[in-house]
Amino acid sequence: MEIMKKGPWSLDEDSKLIHSISLLGHGRWESLAHFAGLKRSGKSCRMRWLNYLRPNLRRGKITPQEQLLILLLHFRFGNRWAEIAKNLPGRSDNDVKNYWRTKVQKHAKELHCDVNSQQFRNFLLYQWLPSLLAQQIPCSSSSSSSSSMTISNITCPINVSVSSTEAELVTEPVLIDDSNIWNNLSSFEHGFNISDFSTPADQYYCQNYWASGTSEMLPDETLCLDDMDLWLFP
């Protein structure tokens, strides 16, 4: 039984793996590892390729746009990181998972609530998401968007105790379209005309897929927002 190497990958191992994949393609990881002459498990090779070596991976910090998508998609998919990552081109499930763990769970901890609690969901919905939206939407009349937005404050319907760091985030005026959060979601991105999308669900998916380059829309789904929760159902 051959002893498998563990731990960080060397440049030499990376280049061997890349070279082998260029010849054989990815998949069949066990035989690929063997072909490459790597003393690594197929599993380790797969992980290295998907999370680090594959082309078009985005490095660096998660952008506010990506944060917004992660939060929204987590409402829908829960901890199904791979599903969420499919909507974030260039990001791996590991990236999404790490973001959730290091940022979102940290916020929940600071608020002294469970990350899956209604209190924290409300915090996300009424404080964090609008905050991210405010970063996306230039709140000035020079916006090139053809939609005319009425901007007003939205208030959180629950009392949320915040730490000093949290207060820094939530004491910013939360600016959001007064009637429909989804108008904002779709209007902050360029490349399409908001009036092309008549329903909130269409607007959501329009925004959702902006970066993927695919025009794939998930059909026949409805999304609605009420005071208590966010629902997305077939």
Q: Is 212 in the site for DNA (CB under 7 A)?
A: no
Q: Do residues 150 and 179 make contact, with C-beta atoms less than 8 angstroms apart?
A: yes
Tell me the residue length of the chain: 234
In this complex, which beta carbon is closest to DNA, that of residue 65 or of residue 94? 94
Q: Is 30 in the site for DNA (CB under 7 A)?
A: yes
Among 18, 47, 230, 232, binds DNA (CB under 7 A): 47
Q: Among candidates 188, 199, 206, which has minimal Cα distance to 222? A: 199
> How does 115-146 read in b/e, with b if 16+ C-beta sit within 10 Å?
beeebbbbbbbbbbbbbbbbebbeeeeeeebe
Among 3, 8, 164, 226, binds DNA (CB under 7 A): 8
Q: How far is the C-alpha of 180 from the C-alpha of 171, rounded, in Å?
A: 22
Among 23, 24, 37, 102, binds DNA (CB under 7 A): 102
Among 35, 39, 51, 143, binds DNA (CB under 7 A): 51
Query: Number of residues in contact with DNA, rule: CB under 7 A?
Result: 36
Q: Which residues bind DNA (CB under 7 A)?
A: 5-9, 27-32, 42-44, 46-48, 51-52, 59-61, 79-83, 93-95, 97-98, 101-103, 106
